[in-house]
Amino acid sequence: MSFKPYKIDDHFKLTNFLKIPKELFTHPLYSNKLTSDSILVYGFLLDRIGLSISHRWIDKNDCVFLIFTRKELQELLNLSDKTITKAFRELRECELIYEKKQGCSKPNIIYVGKVQSLPEDN
């Protein structure tokens, strides 16, 4: 394998990537409360919203929900159960996710909360 730098035209060919809101690093509500692991988990949860929309996983209030088990995230990110559990706790505490139990050994339904933006400088 050899190093291949991006060229000027390659920027527009990037189609499979995560978008992570910058506010998670800069907004006082999040910057000192979220670890890099929880920010990365949030990015994957945001990405999964597209799949939920395509499957019409929308509740009676038109809110999109998703199903993404902790086990799936552990394997995807190569993180321990303890680390994923901590990330979910941090995201809940910052009101970036809400989990609803389904019971009967079914995975939780996850609602992803919107990130609060910093006021624009004029």
Task: List the chain domain ranges.
Answer: 24-112
Give the ranges where the chain is alpha helix by DSSP (H).
Answer: 23-26, 36-54, 70-77, 81-93
H or E element that contains 97: strand 97-100
Q: Are 77 and 44 in contact (CB under 8 A)?
A: yes
pLDDT tens digits, one per residue of 48-85: 999 999 999 999 999 999 999 999 999 999 999 999 99
How far from the centroid of its chain's Cα atoms is residue 41's Cα? 5
Quote the CA–CA distance of 23 and 41 in Å, as a whole number.
15
Query: Band of the pLDDT at 1, cuts 50, 70, 90?
Result: confident
Query: Band of the pLDDT at 46, cuts 50, 70, 90?
Result: very high
pLDDT mean over 20-35: 93
Report the top-level CATH class of 24-112: mainly alpha
Which residues, at least 6 apart from 61, have a Cβ–Cβ distance to it below 8 Å? none
